[in-house]
Amino acid sequence: MEKKQIKIAVFVSGGGTNLQALIDAEKRGEIKSGKLSLVISNNPSADALTRASENGIKTLVISKKTEGSKEAMEEAMVRTLTENGIDLIVLAGFMCILSADFTRRYDKRILNIHPSLIPSFCGEGFYGLHVHEAALQKGVKVTGATVHYVNEVPDGGEIILQKAVNVEEGDTPEILQKRVMEQAEWIILPAAAELVSKKILEGKA
Ligand code: GRF
C-alpha cells in the first residue's frame, strides 16, 4: 500500500514553542503529509518534552552526557531514527551542532529554523538572544526567520522559506525575539514541514 504520511522526528533542547507550533498545525490539519512521531531532546529538563508527552508523542533523551560522547550520541540518534522509521528530522531549537557525517547521512532530510533572515546574523555563535542582539546593534529595520535544509555548514544549507518581521523603535532583544517567533517562526516552520513532507511523500525530494 502507498504511504499516506511520512514520519517526522523533532529535535529539541528547550522551551519547545516551535514544537508546539508544529503540534498545533498538525491538529489544524495543516501538516497532513507528515506525522509528528518522535521528539528527541539532548536536555532532560526541556519543557518541549512535556509538550510532546502531553500530546501523545513518544519522547527520548539522547545526549553527549547519556551516551558518553558526541559521536556516541549521534550513533544512538541514527539507531533510534532507523528503528522508528523516521523520514524527516526537524530541528526546533536544538542547541547542538550535528557533525558532517550525520548531516550527510540525512541529506535534504533535516530542516532547521533560524531566527534571522539568512545570510544575516547566522552561523556559529548566532543562537538565541545573540541573534536579536546583533540585529539591534546593526540597526536593521527588518529581520525575520528562515527555515533551511541542514548541511555541514552551520545555518548554511539551502533556504526553504523565509518571513520578514519589522524591527520597532524601543525593541529589546527579548521583545524582538518574541515578535520574530510569533510573526515568523511559528508560521514558516509548520509550513516548511508540510512542504518538504509532501515532496518526500511524492518522491520529489
Ligand atoms: C527559536 O528562536 C529558534 O529559532 C532557535 O531556537 C529557538 C527555540 O525556541 N533555533 P523554542 O524551544 O522552540 O521555544
All domains of the chain in start order, with CATH:
6-201 (3.40.50.170)
pLDDT of residue 96: 94
pLDDT of residue 3: 75
Nearest protein Cα to ligand 1, atom 8? 93
User: Is residue 190 lining ligand 1, measured as CB closer than 6 Å?
Assistant: no
pLDDT of residue 205: 87
Identify the segments of the chain with pLDDT beneath 70: 1-2
Handedness of CA 125, 70, 38, 109 (dihedral sign): positive
- Measured CA to CA, the distance from residue 139 to residue 75 in angstroms comes to 42
Q: What burial letters (b/e) apply to 36-51, b meaning 16+ CB within 10 Å?
A: bbbbbbbbeebbbbeb
Ligand 1 centre to CA of 16 (Å) is 7
Ligand 1 centre to CA of 17 (Å) is 7
Q: What is the pTM of this model?
A: 0.97
Using the atom order of ligand 1, give the atom closest to the CA of residue 177. Answer: 2
Q: Residue with C-alpha cell 536536555?
A: 43
pLDDT of residue 100: 97
Q: Which cell numbers in the block locate residue 169? A: 523603535
pLDDT of residue 1: 57
- Longest CA span, the chain: 56
